Structure 1
Amino acid sequence: GKSTTIQILLGLIFPTSGEVEVLGAPPGKPESKTRIGYLPEDSVFYPFLSGREMLDLSARLCRVPDSDRNQRIEALLQMVGLREAADREIGDYSKGMQRRIGIAQALIHDPDLIILDEPTNGLDPLGVRQVKDWIEGLKERGKTILISSHLLADVEQVCDRVSILYGGKVQAEGAVEEILERDDRTFWITSRPDAAVLESAEQRLRDEGLDIISMQPGSKSLEEKFLETVKEARERGETTAGAEAGGALPPFLGGGDNHT
């Protein structure tokens, strides 16, 4: 029901019952559509257009002023790491590159509400990390972001509120900390003690009658190792034919009440 809900909010399909308002207006009305940025689950672009031409078309459709259009296009190409590939046809883009240009087109008109359907589809770990950073940055700038995703770890990291749908119905809804029940029996302690301190702490816990199930050294996650390896490769001057590193959100994005 996730994608169906989004299509109703966009006015692409109609609910069988009930009423829906988006930004104070019925879905699909021009006054609300111009304030919404949308990234569908599967982006479909004109394959013969370049990335730059696609953003120019999106900007014109969204009535971005001529005086701002080129500046926004260049800023977003820089953000998503596609400046070097901007004049290549989208039909030659990888799936991850198409996802990046899709994110850029969703932001070109500085929308108040940004709807992202499976935003990390087709992205490598670096792209996934960047999308999370962009979402956090947009939230800090006052944007409202609606994310549909089956990657629950990502949702937990970036969202303030969640709604769990099953069978076409909302089964649970609320702030993330309310949805996730606290487990008072399990604790994670992060530290870097030397061996003597660790041994002393372990013995103290046992003296207090605590049943220690396991104690093991931590390690980097595979995502952390991947990002570290790519960073080192770039520092050595190695390049890729795909998307570049990308950058921060452009200054023109901002305004509104933040929710994720």
Structure 2
Amino acid sequence: MTGGTPPSPPAVRCSGLRRRYGRRPAVEDVSLEVGRGEVVGLLGPNGAGKSTVIKMLLGLVRPDAGEAALLGRPAGDPASRARVGYLPELFRYQPWLSAAEVLALHVRLAGVTVPAPERHECLSLVGLGERAADRVGGFSKGMQQRLGLAVALVARPELVILDEPTSALDPLGRADVRDIVLALKARGVAVLLNSHLIGEVERVCDRVVILDRGRVAASGTLGELLGRRELRLRLTDLSPEAQARLAATGDVRRDGDGFTVALPAGDDEAAVPELVRDLVALGVRVHAVEPARISLEERLLGILRAGQEDAA
């Protein structure tokens, strides 16, 4: 019998979630999982059921069917909720409180002890360190969103659920959120991210779950969803030996004034520079090297349009 510590349960696990509002199905048979230290993106059009799924995971909405667990405990269990940070899409803080007082209040509500210097450090992390004593009623929408992110992070959560965390932020604020999400991942914190900003999801997420009309339309890693990476090269002086080297890399097709090579799955980062080095050594003149792959937005639109055609 093998000893050792058993593996930790996933940060999020749900199966067969269903929720209806009257006759309208909001969520139908949704199953998903978020591992520890994993960033999973939730994508889909308005009304796809993303926020309803999040509310069921947090115990804010009772599912009509299915099961959900956070950090190994049933959704809504106070013991698990105390270890979850949540930034809702719609939120409002008491305008007469200062930013520091908002954090102190939420720490008390979570039932954890976080010293004042650590709470101030959390405000600094989201760019509000110098506004800690200012009343929230004077904050812009973007500043309130930064405060909401601080609230989600202040109690040292093991799982962070972010519902449209960058909707009111400028490009610098969105970059800050990306850095924070990646820092959470590096610390082993799991993140479930619901966002309409597909580029943000593509930059930070390990896996993506696409919802359409309340159902999971597709899920997987970016590599699985987007397919093989391709490489477009503009070359001259291509000898037979160079053509053979090109063909050894992957499937090759003529593409206008160049060649497109479909790189094999799981290719390492050194494959492209090694190919260019070998071609140059064989006397090839390399004019351009352009990576190419279908974007996540194109893939999402394709899935949603196919769903509309099936429903028609």
TM-score (norm 2): 0.60
Verify the 8 A CA contact 1:206 1:212 in the aligned structure 2.
no
Post-superposition shift, 1:179? 1.2
Aligned to 2:65, the other structure's residue is in SS state: coil
Q: Is the 8 A contact 1:113 1:143 kept in 2?
A: yes
Note if 1:141 corresponds to 2:174.
no
Larger radius of gyration: 2
Pair 1:175-2:221 in alignment: yes
Report the residue type matching 1:177 in the other structure: G
Equivalent position amino acid for 1:211 in 2:
G
Higher relative contact order (CA 8 A, sep 6+): 1
Unpaired stretches in structure 2, ≥5 consecutive residues: 1-48, 244-253, 259-286, 291-312
Residue pairs, 1:238-257, within 5 angstroms: none
1:212 matches 2:257:
yes
Query: Which structure 2 residues correspond to residues 156-167 of structure 1 after superposition, within 5 A?
Result: 156-167=202-213
Superposed, which structure 2 residues align to 1:24-173 within 5 Å?
A: 24-65=72-113, 68-173=114-219
Given that 2:86 and 2:152 are in contact with CA atoms closer than 8 Å, whether structure 1 keeps it comes out as: yes
The count of aligned residue pairs is 203
Partners of 2:127 and 2:256 lie apart in 1 by 50
**CA contact 2:96–2:135 (8 Å) conserved in 1:** yes
Native 8 Å contact 2:99 2:131 kept in 1? yes
The whole-number CA distance in structure 2 between the counterparts of 1:116 and 1:205 is 51
Q: CA contact under 8 A between 1:56 and 1:73: conserved in structure 2?
A: yes
- Cα offsets for 1:157-195 (capped at 9, x unmatched): 1000110000100011111211111254xx257xxxxxx
Q: Structure 1, unaligned stretches of length 5 or more? A: 190-200, 219-260
Q: Distance in 2 between matches of 1:6 and 1:188?
A: 40
Percent of counterpart pairs with the same letter?
45
Instruction: Sort the Cα spacing of 1:217 and 1:20 in 2 relative to 1 into closer, same or farther, 3 A.
Output: closer
Partner Cα distance (2:115, 2:107) in 1: 6
Question: Which shifted more, 18-27 or 88-97?
Answer: 18-27
In the alignment, the residues of structure 1 paired with residue 59 and residue 201 of structure 2 have an alpha-carbon distance, to the nearest angstrom, of 25
* Residue type at the aligned position of 2:206: D
| TM-score, normalising length: structure 1 | 0.72
Question: Considering only aligned residues, what root-mean-square deviation do their CA atoms show, in Å?
Answer: 2.4
